Chains A and B, each alone.
Chain A
Amino acid sequence: MSASAHAVVADLRDRIRQFDGRALRDRAVLPFGVPEIDEKLPGGGLALASLHEVCGGGNDAVEGAAAMLFAAGIAARTRGQVLWCLTRPDLFAPALAQAGLAPGRVLYMEANDEKSLLLCLEEGLRHGGLGAVVAEVARLSMTASRRLQLAAEAGGTLGIALRRFRHKREVGAFLLPTAAVTRWQVSVAPSAPLPVPGVGRACWRLELTRCRAGEAAEFEVEASDAEGRIAFSSRLADRSPAAGHGRLGASA
């Protein structure tokens, strides 16, 4: 019963989309290349013509370095130029290059206030010639995010709102809903110890806290590599059952 109901709903959804005339474009997605994550996302990846939200979790909320590299990894896997809007110029470009985003592809825009930043972000999304637009924003209201989502749909461009806070107490503002299609929270996790002295590949705890037409999920992943790809953490295989979260069997 439930399986056939799902099929009926999916069919209806498809037909509504065709009336909308957005069927083809909406189906374009950017998969992570990690089956465990992609199967949780409707369509099997991040929808290209949409706005996504990424924020740092835990101690990383203010610096947002992990969230930034996560966004850079996604942008690196799109095609074409990337517009990166920021309000504080503390981003270190060589790190972006190490996450797969070559310097020739990134166009930086330094706005002096959030209002002009959002305007330029919308402009970039609507233009349609860019691969992705990433913007470091502190506040994102429902109205603003809806505008951005419409602009992303119109331009067929992937938008990433990289939520960045000036103080830890502002983190609460992130709980307010926005029109973004997905919302990711990236926090750092201790890396797997290496058999030799040294630092291994960084690990992130990736929480999909909101996903339109999907469910929330949580993953443990290894950070973006030089092509911008994240990898599913191999550590889950030898983790004790108490620390796991029900996905133990998947990678064992």
Chain B
Amino acid sequence: MPRVVSLFLPGWPIDRLRRAMGASAPPPDARLVLVGREGSRRVVTAVSRPAEAAGLRVGMPLTKAHALLPDILTMPADPAADAAALERLALWALQHYAPIVAPDPPDGLVIDTTGADHLHGGEARMLGGLVNRLAASGIFARAAIADTRGAAYAAARFLADPVCVVPGGGVAEAVARLPLMGLRIPPETVAGLHVLGFATIGDVLAVPRAPLVLRFGALLGRRLDQVQGTVLEPVDPLRDPELATVRKVFGEPIGAPETIARYTAGLVRDLCRTLERRGLGARRLDLLFHRIDNSLQAIRVGTARAVRDEKRLTRLICDRIETIDPGFGIEIMELTATLAEPLALQQAVTSLVEEETADIAGLVDVIANRIGARRLYRIAPVESDVPERSVRRIAPLAPDDGATWQGRWPRPARLLARPEPVEVMALLPDHPPAFFTWRGVRRRVKCADGPERIFGEWWKRDAELAAVRDYFQVEDMEGERFWLFRSADEEQASSGIGRWFLHGVFA
């Protein structure tokens, strides 16, 4: 079952205008409306949120809006620029999220993310990230993911807050309570259905189809099928002529994995030649399969560095062929370098003395495409005494600056995600515990090292101003070693109260 994301941009014309105007844009609290022409009348085509709160609506004649609120700010609407900007946004989504993206004018995008969500940490995180990134650049968005494009459309507009994940197979349940506007049918049809007493999509789905179709036209029937997924609704993917693309059209549909692999190798060869002419290397490749039933399947692979190595790219794509369902056959294969970067020529090491370090970029790509790039990382030191803050993740191929952790105190092999409280019998002050009980086992301490005093980082959080941890490395009678600390601030230390925690296990 495909998974489709619908992205809804409720304030698109105004958000776009604000971004285009930059610093000279009207303040966010301005009652801004955009004005377009409908025949000879001037009507409101978009309202900002303050204006909407004041009672203005899209579709109102401008004279009426002026009568309601004399001090509104008006600007001319520019639907052509809106559509062009929406296409650019779609291109951005294509480069960052999934191979099949299409603008859904006037105010949305649709993205087929089948098999791509794991690269972004799952569906919910992917949607959250998408909405947040747009919000950071001043575009208000809502997003939903569902099994069908129709259901995602309805959920994005009437369920998402700001994101909504409709679980696989849960379409009927999710859309049943949504209003008829979620069906993508003309307003006249919605009004007609309202007159007949239908309020939600579930109401319409519950009655026999034929009389409704007879009255309101075939579109209603098709939309109902599309919401439920009984009729396929492929996304017609956006393609930019700027991107390097090669196609192969088959006279006879193909389906066997070996055949696909063979043609893939040919396409990669052609694409590499195109890239070579432009001096580029691929960072992201999309291979689209047009099946004879008019639906699309896609493979997307990414690389950590720009690559133009035919063998490596073919290998990366062929690794994923098993995810493709050829159905009754594939008639077109289309390979695009969605993201390409200049590939500089590099001199290979010529010195005989210099030690050759193996290039693992190929391995990194293979693994990253299998499990997601964010799951492959190196850990670099951070200048912080607080143990849980002393590490950070960096990209697997980041240059190695040779930095390591300073300090002579030993660190545990396993660090607990959060320190666990332990019951302790200890002599105070500044003595390690004599006994402690962790996870129900009482252990007698044979010897201990410490205390290593670690202060809180008050420049990060006010609450840490007085926080102090005294760490001890202790060994029990069995020879097991633990990292314990007594947390104390100045007052507590003097009163002799300090809570003990276990933070790690040594070897």
Contact = CB atoms under 8 A, between A and B. Distances in A.
Q: Tell whether A and B belong to one assembly.
A: yes
Interface stretch (A2-10, A13-21, A93-101, A242-250): A93-101
Contacts of A191: 447, 475, 479
A197 interface: yes
A137 interface: no
B390 to A, nearest CB: 6
Interface of B is mostly: mixed
B407 to A, nearest CB: 8
A227 interface: no
A71 B188 CA distance: 71
Interface string A144-186: 0000000000000000000000000000000000000000001
A152 to B, nearest CB: 15
Which interface residue of B360, B410, B413, B473 has the most chain A CB atoms within 10 A?
B413
Given A65-B414, A93-B391, A199-B474, A106 B448 contact: no
B502 to A, nearest CB: 12
A97 B405 contact: yes
B410 A59 contact: no
Interface in B457-507: 473-475, 477-481, 504-507
Interface in B109-130: none
Contact of B360 (A70, A104, A108, A130): A130
Which interface residue of B360, B377, B410, B477 has the most chain A CB atoms within 10 A?
B360
A76 interface: no
B119 to A, nearest CB: 12
Interface of A is mostly: mixed
Chain B interface size band reads 35 or more
A223 interface: yes
Contacts of B378: 103-104, 106-108
Contact of B507 (A68, A104, A197): A68
A37 B417 CA distance: 36
B70 interface: no
A124 B414 CA distance: 24
B475 A80 contact: no
B358 interface: yes
A65 B479 contact: no
A189 B478 CA distance: 6
A68 B405 contact: no
Contact of A104 (B401, B411, B446): B401
Which interface residue of B377, B387, B478, B505 has the most chain A CB atoms within 10 A?
B505
Contacts of A119: 370
B171 to A, nearest CB: 26
A207 to B, nearest CB: 15
8 contacts: A95-B506, A103-B378, A103-B381, A107-B364, A108-B379, A120-B371, A130-B358, A197-B448
Which 3 A-B pairs rank lowest in CB-CB distance, beginning with the nearest?
Answer: A129-B358, A104-B400, A66-B507
Interface of B: 357-360, 362-364, 366-367, 370-371, 375-381, 387, 390-391, 393, 396, 400-405, 410-417, 446-449, 473-475, 477-481, 504-507
